[in-house]
């Protein structure tokens, strides 16, 4: 088994750290320009008729926005209701029961 000089290990760690920083910086730039990319797809969300449904969005922060991207919208498009905690929930109100897919960011 051949041994590497310790200098090569240091160079490799330095390159890995620089690449990590470049990727991190790129992600920060991307999400600042297009914040809707930093989100979650919530599939099969059941919304009860005439009631506000608290949907857990799993973002770990307050949501910035949302849109319906699938499912069956019966009647009206969901509107926002009063949320208990926007860091954890998206509150939606509909007049007719629906099951939808939501992109929340």
| Percent of the chain scoring above 70 in pLDDT | 79
Pair 49, 23 in one domain:
no
Q: Answer yes or no: is pLDDT of 19 > 90.
A: no
Both 56 and 25 in one domain: the answer is: no
**Cβ pair 105, 62 in contact under 8 A:** no
Global pTM reads 0.65
> Which ranges in the chain belong to alpha helices (H)?
6-33
46 and 74 together in one domain: yes
Range of 66's domain?
A: 39-104
Average pLDDT, the chain: 82
Q: Is residue 99 part of a domain?
A: yes
Q: Do 48 and 91 form a contact (C-beta atoms < 8 A)? A: no
Instruction: Determine the Cα–Cα distance for residues 60 and 2; give it in Å rounded to an integer.
Output: 47
Q: Are residues 63 and 47 in the same domain?
A: yes
Q: What's the pLDDT score for residue 17?
A: 84
């Amino acid at each position: 088994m051949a041994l590497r000089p310790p200098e090569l290990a240091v160079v490799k760690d330095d390159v890995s750290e620089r690449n990590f920083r470049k990727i991190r910086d790129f992600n920060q730039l991307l999400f600042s320009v297009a914040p809707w990319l930093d989100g979650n797809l919530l599939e099969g969300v059941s919304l009860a008729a005439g009631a506000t449904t608290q949907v857990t969005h799993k973002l770990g922060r307050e949501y910035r926005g949302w849109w319906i991207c699938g499912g069956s919208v019966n009647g009206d498009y969901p509107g926002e209701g009063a949320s208990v905690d926007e860091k954890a929930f998206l509150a939606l109100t509909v007049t007719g029961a629906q099951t939808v897919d939501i992109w929340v960011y």
